[in-house]
Structure 1
Amino acid sequence: MSSHGDHSPGPQPRKDSYAFVEEEKPVMSLEGDIKILKTVDLESDGLCTRYSPDGSKVAVGLSNGVIKIFKSDTMSCIYHLADDETIKSRLPVTSLNFVQSSKSQNEILAATYASGQVKFWHVSSKKALHTIHEPRQVLASSVSNDQQRLVTVGSSEHVNIYDIHTGKKVHGCEPSPGSLVMDGHRYRVFAAKYHPIESNTFITGGWDDTIQFWDERQERSLRHIFGPHICGDGLDIDSKFNHVLSASWRKQDSLQVWDFGSGKLIKTIPGDYGAESLLYSCQWMGKNHMVCGGCDTNMLKIIDKTTLATSGIVVGLPGGVYSVDYDHSRKSLHQHGHSSQDVTILSAVVGKSVIILSNAPKS
C-alpha cells in the first residue's frame, strides 16, 4: 500500500523516499449501518491489521517496525513484538498473516517489513522463530490455504515462496527477461493473495496496472488482468463464487469484481457521490458484504453483495484507511452483543489509531 514507506501513492509516485500523503482532515460523518465501537491510539502510524483465526486477537503493524497485538474484546495490548533488528531499522511493518494452529500456544504470526525482513513470530513467547532477509522492500504477503507456505512480493518483480515451518525458500517466480511478454510484474507489487481453495494458486497486483495469476510450481505467471492500479492490500478472492475483488488507487473504477477463471470483468461497483476515495484496501466480508477503505475522503465503506448498494459508510476519518480486516470466526460478535449472520466486526488502521467497527443496524 502506498502508506508502506517510500511508495507514496499516485500515478507517478516517488521511488526514492519514504513519505506519507499529507491529507486534510474533514469532519467525520457516518451514514447507514455502521458504527465505531472503539478507537485505540497508536504511537506510530498503523499500516496493516489482522484478526487471529479464533477472533481473540487483533494484530497491528506500525510504521516504526513494532507489532502490537490486542485482545479483541477489550482492545488492551497483550503482546509487543520487536527485536534488535526491527528496533534498529525502525522501518515499517508492511503485512501481517496469522498461521492457523490447533493450539493457541503454537500461534505463529508472519510479518514482512520495508527493511526486507520476513519474520515468523511465535506470538506467546514474543520470539522470532525464523528471520529471512530479502534484498528489497517486502511489501505484502499471503499464507497458503494449507498453512504451509508464505508468498512475499515487494519492490522488485520477484515473487518468493517460503516454507513457514522452516523459513526456507521453496519456490521462486518472476517474469521473462524481455519486456515483450507480460508474464509477471514489471513494477512494484503491493498485494498478494493465495486462493482459498486451490493451495498452489495465488494472485498479485501492483503499480503496473495488472493482476497476475500464478501457480507456485511454475516460474512465469499463467495469465493476467490489465486495469487495476493496486497500491495496498487491495486484492481478495471469494471462495464460493471464485470472484476476485480489486481496490485501485484512483477515483474512477476503483472497486471491481472479476471472474477468477476467465479474468473477465463482472462488475465495477458504483461510487458514492461526494465520497469517492482512492482505495488502498478491500475484502469480501462474510456472506453478504464487501468492504473497502482509502484516502482523499478518508473513507471506509461496506457494500451489500447482492444489491451493490452502500449499506454503511464513514468519511472524514483522521487518516487514510490503509488496511482492514474482519473477524472471520465471528467470536467478537457475541462479545459486542450481536448474533445476526449479517453483522460483522471490523478492524481498520487509520493514521495513528486502530478503529473497531460494526455494521450492526442502528437501533
Structure 2
Amino acid sequence: MQEDHDEKPVVLVVDDSPENLDVLSGILRADYKVKAALSGERALKIANSYKQPDMILLDIMMPEMDGYEVCFRLKSNPATRKIPVIFVTAKEQIDDVTKGFRFGAVDYIVKPVQPAVVLARVKTQLELYDQNRMLEGKVRLRTQELNDTRLEIIQRLGRAAEFKDNETGLHVVRMSHYTRLIAEAVGYGEGWADLLFHASPMHDVGKIGIPDHILMKPGPLNEQEWEIMKTHSEIGGQIIGNHQSELLKTAQIIAFTHHEKWDGSGYPYGLKGEEIPLPGRIVAIADVFDALTSERPYKKEWSIEDSVQQIYQGSGTHFDPHLINIFREVLPDILDIKEQYAESKYVEEPVTGSMNVIELYAG
C-alpha cells in the first residue's frame, strides 16, 4: 500500500446510519482515504466528482434510494460503471445478494462487519480493479497502434496513387479537409467526420491499376479509354480489400462509390439516391469541387464562381441535394482550406526528395 496519504486508494462508504459509517471508516482509515455518504443521492454526486472513488461499499437498505437503485445508476453511467461496488448487507438479506450481483456488484460483506473480512474483500477487489485498468490501458495502446498503422498504410497508398497520376498530393489533402467539413456539418459527430477525413485520401488508389498511356493522356479519352478509366473505382475497392477495421471499411466504400451519381447515371454500379453510401456522396462533392478549381494537363483551372455554380447545378442529378445545402453552408471554410493548401504555396521536389505530403493531413 502507498505510504503517501494522497496516493491511498479512495473508498466511498455509503450508509444511512452514521454509526455504521463510523465503524467502516475506522476499519479502512489506516490503509485508504475514506469518503462517506449518508444517502444514495449524495453517493452518486461523489462518484461523479472529478476525483472518483476507487471502490464503493454500499448499504442495501436505505430510505428514498436503496442500494440496488444506487448500483443500477452507477452501472448505467459510462463515467462510473467501472467503479467496483461491494454491498454491505444484514444476515437476513443474504438471499437478496444475487439481486445485487445482477445490478453489477462484485462482492458483499455481511453485517455486523468483521474488520479482517472488510479489509480482505476490499484489498482483493481493488487489486482486481487495478489489474483490469492496467489491461484496458494496454488494450487501448495496442488498438491505437493498430489504428495508426492502418492510417499510415492508407496515406502511403494514397500517395502511391498520386505518383502515378497527374494530380498533386495537395489534391487529396484539400479534398480530405473538404470532406471533413461537410461530414461535420452532417451532424454525426466529430469521430465520424475524422473517420472520413482519414479514409478519403484512398478514393483514387485504384488508378494504380490504370495503364499509363490512359492515365497520363493530356487530351480527352476516347470511349474505350474511358471505360478502362472507370474501372479504377472497383480496382481501388479490391486493393483496399475487406477488413474489420472501420477505417479500412470506410476507405473501401469511398473508393467504390465516390463516382456514383444521385440520379443513377454514375459508376461502377449505377447506384441511385440514398442507395449510395453517405461517405461516397460526401467525397463526390469534395473531389469534384477540387478537380474543377485545379489546373490539370488536360484542362485549365476554373474560377471559384464557375466551379461553385457547377456544383449547385449538379444538385439532384450528380449530387445529393441535402449535401449541396450543407456545402453552401461550409463553403467559406472550404475556400479557406483551398487558400491554405494552394498549389502556389508548395513546390514538390523530384521523387528522390519528395515533399512530405503526409504531414499536411494533420491540418
TM interval, short-chain normalised: under 0.3
Highest relative contact order (Cα 8 Å, sep 6+), 1 or 2? Answer: 1
TM value normalised by structure 1: 0.23
- Greater share of residues in strand: 1
